[in-house]
């Protein structure tokens, strides 16, 4: 995710470098310092070459969602320039406080995607990142601000209490990126304090927080703490929120490491279906019945079980149409002959008949 630069920059103590940048020049009402209180692109210590790239890039067109025109030559230079990889971090920390929201957006982005790992382990730098994220109000910048904060090594920098406070008061845009990125950093995944806090998010009052939290276990946490992740998945098969349950069951069934829980995941889908408790958004349940990740340890017995539950869902006219269609698709994927037979029985179904016919007609 980040390019770690070697050379003179990494030989300098980042605490000294960032502290000097934060305090040099006369302090003004703006905060970070610089000549006569200059901040952002006017801060003392900025790399002129980096500032020049930013000045050109912010002149590119920006759409209503805050995305820059990727075809703009200056934006291509911004994306590709080696000057912005790691060694530009001290300047990027200044630019995160620039009055122009476009400058801040690009500073957040570049620091999140190309920042040096040592920056996120430095207490002064981490403090400045949190200062910027806490002050950020522009809607288009919030996800990137959350992503930058998520890179911070909260143990090394002793900032976890502050990160948790930021998360608690943030909107969902910042939360979903902060949560996901925090758990994607190996040094935070291994941190038991972070681990315990994150598990608590699965019971959060906000549905989006709960669902995002479950999604964050897919990836680095599974690579580093797989046995514990499998347990978390299984514990949440019966979650009161069907979208959390669906994600847990799908992610559990998606890899060979949690294969011992596959029967339980399939049974959970069956239970939800019989109770008519599968909303149209819970398409992850269909993934349990299919095999989109090509789990190498799925057995013929597993496929038979999946086929049986697929039939239950497909024939249940009280379930949403898209869930029923997905069940037919899963049945066909597990056993094309049996899947076509199921589809043939549904060609006159008012809701999914035309889709069933398309399955019957497959070559």
DSSP string, 112-139: HHH--GGGGG-HHHHHHHHHHHHH---G
CA 16, CA 30: separation in Å to the nearest integer?
Answer: 22
Report d(CA 135, CA 202) in Å as an integer. 27
Rounded CA-CA distance 307/301 in Å is: 10
Band of the pLDDT at 27, cuts 50, 70, 90? very low
Which pLDDT band holds residue 20 (cuts at 50, 70, 90)?
very low
**Which phi and psi angles does 69 have, rounded to 5°?**
-65, 110
CA dist 274 and 325 (Å) reads 16
Distance, CA of 67 to CA of 57 (rounded, Å): 12
- What's 280's DSSP letter? T
Give the residue, 195 or 6, on which the prediction is more confident.
195
Judged against a pLDDT cut of 70, whether residue 36 lies above it is answered with no
pLDDT at 33 over 50: no
Q: Which tokens go with 201?
A: 């998010």
Would you place residue 9 in the very low, low, confident or very high pLDDT band (cuts 50, 70, 90)?
very low
* Predicted pLDDT at 1: 43
How much is the pTM? 0.85
Summarize pLDDT for 208-234 with one digit per residue, the tens.
999 999 999 999 999 999 999 999 999
List pLDDT tens digits, range 175-185.
Answer: 999 999 999 99
Q: What is the pLDDT of residue 6?
A: 35
Exposed, middle or buried: residue 71 (CB in 10 Å: 0-12, 13-18, 19+)? exposed
Mean pLDDT of the chain: 90
CA atoms within 13 A on the CB side of 53: 22
Per mean pLDDT, which range of 26-35, 50-59, 209-218, 316-325 is the poorest? Answer: 26-35
Assess whether pLDDT exceeds 90 at residue 308: yes
């Amino acid at each position: 995710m980040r390019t770690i630069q070697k050379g003179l920059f990494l030989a300098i103590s980042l605490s000294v470098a960032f502290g000097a940048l934060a305090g040099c020049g006369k302090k003004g009402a703006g905060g970070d310092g610089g000549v006569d209180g200059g901040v952002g692109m006017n801060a003392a210590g900025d790399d002129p070459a980096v500032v020049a790239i930013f000045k050109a890039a912010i002149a590119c067109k920006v759409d209503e969602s805050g995305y820059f025109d990727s075809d703009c030559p200056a934006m291509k230079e911004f994306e590709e320039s080696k000057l912005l990889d790691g060694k530009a971090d001290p300047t990027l920390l200044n630019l995160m406080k620039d009055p122009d929201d476009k400058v801040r957006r690009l500073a957040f982005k570049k620091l999140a995607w190309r920042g040096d790992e040592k920056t996120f382990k430095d207490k002064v730098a981490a403090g400045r990142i949190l200062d910027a994220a806490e002050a950020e109000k522009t809607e288009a910048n919030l996800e990137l601000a959350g992503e930058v904060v998520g890179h911070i090594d909260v143990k090394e920098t002793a900032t976890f209490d502050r990160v948790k406070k930021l998360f608690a008061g943030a909107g969902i845009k910042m939360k979903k990126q902060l949560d996901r990125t925090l758990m994607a950093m190996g040094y935070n995944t291994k941190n038991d304090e972070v681990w315990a806090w994150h598990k608590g998010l699965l019971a959060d009052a906000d549905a989006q927080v709960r669902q995002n939290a479950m999604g964050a276990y897919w990836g680095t946490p599974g690579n580093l703490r797989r046995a514990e992740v499998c347990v978390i998945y299984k514990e949440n098969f019966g979650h009161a929120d069907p979208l959390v349950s669906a994600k847990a069951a799908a992610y559990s069934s998606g890899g060979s490491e949690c294969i011992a829980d596959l029967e339980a995941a399939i049974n959970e889908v069956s239970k939800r279906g019989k109770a008519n408790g599968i909303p149209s958004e819970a398409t992850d349940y269909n993934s349990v019945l299919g095999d989109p990740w090509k789990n190498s340890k799925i057995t013929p017995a597993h496929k038979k079980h999946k086929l049986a539950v697929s039939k239950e869902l497909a024939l249940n006219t009280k379930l949403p149409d898209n869930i029923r269609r997905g069940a037919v698709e899963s049945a066909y994927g597990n056993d094309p002959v049996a899947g076509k037979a199921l589809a043939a029985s549904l060609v006159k179904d008012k809701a999914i008949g035309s889709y069933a016919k398309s399955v019957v007609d497959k070559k």
